[in-house]
C-alpha cells in the first residue's frame, strides 16, 4: 500500500515539475497566451450554442424573480399581471416552436488542469493498475480523479416541458389567494432548471490553437522557408497535445487519434522538404479534421 501511494505521489511530483519530455517552446505562443486562446475558443462555443430564444428565456426568468419579490411585498395585483405576462410569452414561444424542449440561459466554466506529460501519465496509470490489482480502489480513485486536463462547461436550460405548467399553477394559486403557495411554486421552478455538463479536453483545444497559428504563419508575408522552423515547432506541439489527450483517456479508443497523427506525420514531411503547396493543403486538411474530431468528441457522451 505504501509503495503504491509513493509511486502515485512521485508521479504527481513529476507532473508538477512538468515538461522534461515536452518539446521546447519554439512556437511563439506563451502559456498565458495559450490559456487566453483556449478560453476564447470555449467562449465562442458557448455563444454559438445560444438560440434566438435565449434572451426571451432569460427575461422570463428575471420576471419570475420579480413576481416572487412582488408577492413578498404583498403587491398581489402587480404580481398577477407580471405572471400573466410570463405565461403569454411562454405560450408564444411554444406556438412558434411546438417541439421546443429546452432553451439555454446561462453557462459557467470550470478548469481542471494537471501539468503533466505522456510518460508521467503512463507511470501513474501503471501505479493505478497495481493499486486496483491489490484491491486499493480508493488509492486508484484518488489518482484518477486528479488526472485530468479539461474545461467543464455547465449550461442551464429553461425546461419548456414543465416551466409553463409551473407558471400556470402559480397563477391558479394566486387566484385562490394562496400567495405563499404560489411563491413556493415559482421558487421551485427556478430551482429546477435543466443542467447539462460538457467535458472539453484541454490538450485537444491546445492542439487546435497550434494548428490555427500554423495557418496564420502560412499566410504570413515572409517566405515559406523562413517560417519552416516555427511551423515544425507548432505541428510538433499539436502532435504532443494530441498524444497527451490520448494517454489521459479522452477518446482513447477512437481511431481518429491515429488518423490525426498520420496526417501530422505527412505534414511534417512536406514542411521539411519545403513543399509549400502540399504543406498548405495538408495543413488545411488537419485543421478541418481536428475541428470535426473536437466537435464530435465534445458531444459524444460528456453530457450528464
Domain ranges of the chain: 30-49+202-298, 54-113+149-199
Supply the pTM of this predicted model: 0.79
**19-23, 41-45, 151-155, 293-297: which has the minimum mean pLDDT?**
19-23
**Dihedral sign from CA coordinates of 96, 102, 107, 111:** negative
Please, which pLDDT band fits residue 253 given cuts at 50, 70 and 90?
A: low
Please state which of the four CATH numbers 1.20.1300, 1.10.3470, 1.20.120, 2.60.40 is assigned to the domain occupying 30-49+202-298: 1.20.120
The helix (H) or strand (E) run that includes residue 256 is: helix 256-272
d(CA 266, CA 279): 9
At 15 the pLDDT is: 33
pLDDT at 9 over 60: no
> How far apart (Å, rounded) are the C-alpha atoms in residues 269 and 172?
72
Q: Per mean pLDDT, which range of 82-91, 141-150, 282-291 is the poorest?
A: 141-150
Question: Do the domains 30-49+202-298 and 54-113+149-199 sit in the same CATH topology, yes or no?
Answer: yes
- Secondary structure E strands in 3-141: 102-113
Q: Which CATH class is domain 54-113+149-199?
A: mainly alpha
261 confidence band (pLDDT: 50, 70, 90): very high
Amino acid at each position: 500500500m505504501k509503495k503504491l501511494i509513493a509511486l502515485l505521489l512521485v508521479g504527481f511530483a513529476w507532473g508538477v515539475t512538468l515538461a522534461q519530455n515536452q518539446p521546447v517552446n519554439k512556437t511563439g505562443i506563451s502559456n498565458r497566451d495559450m490559456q487566453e486562446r483556449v478560453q476564447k475558443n470555449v467562449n465562442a462555443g458557448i455563444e454559438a450554442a445560444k438560440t434566438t430564444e435565449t434572451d426571451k428565456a432569460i427575461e422570463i426568468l428575471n420576471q419570475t424573480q420579480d413576481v416572487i419579490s412582488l408577492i413578498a411585498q404583498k403587491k398581489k395585483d402587480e404580481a398577477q399581471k407580471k405572471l400573466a405576462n410570463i405565461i403569454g410569452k411562454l405560450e408564444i414561444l411554444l406556438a412558434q416552436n411546438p417541439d421546443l424542449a429546452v432553451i439555454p440561459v446561462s453557462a459557467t466554466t470550470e478548469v481542471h488542469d494537471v501539468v503533466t506529460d505522456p510518460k508521467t501519465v503512463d507511470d501513474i496509470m501503471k501505479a493505478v493498475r497495481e493499486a486496483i490489482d491489490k484491491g486499493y480502489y480508493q488509492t486508484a480513485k484518488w489518482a484518477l480523479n486528479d488526472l485530468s486536463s479539461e474545461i467543464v462547461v455547465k449550461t442551464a436550460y429553461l425546461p419548456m416541458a414543465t416551466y409553463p405548467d409551473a407558471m400556470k399553477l402559480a397563477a391558479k394559486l394566486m387566484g385562490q389567494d394562496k400567495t405563499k403557495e404560489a411563491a413556493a411554486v415559482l421558487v421551485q421552478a427556478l430551482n429546477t432548471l435543466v443542467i447539462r455538463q460538457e467535458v472539453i479536453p484541454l490538450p485537444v483545444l491546445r492542439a487546435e490553437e497550434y494548428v490555427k497559428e500554423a495557418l496564420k504563419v502560412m499566410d504570413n508575408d515572409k517566405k515559406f522557408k523562413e517560417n519552416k522552423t516555427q511551423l515544425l515547432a507548432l505541428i510538433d506541439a499539436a502532435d504532443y497535445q494530441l498524444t497527451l489527450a490520448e494517454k489521459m483517456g479522452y477518446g482513447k479508443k477512437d481511431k481518429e487519434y491515429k488518423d490525426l497523427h498520420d496526417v501530422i506525420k505527412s505534414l511534417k514531411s512536406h514542411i521539411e522538404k519545403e513543399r509549400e503547396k502540399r504543406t498548405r493543403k495538408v495543413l488545411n486538411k488537419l485543421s478541418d479534421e481536428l475541428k470535426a474530431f473536437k466537435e464530435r468528441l465534445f458531444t459524444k457522451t460528456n453530457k450528464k
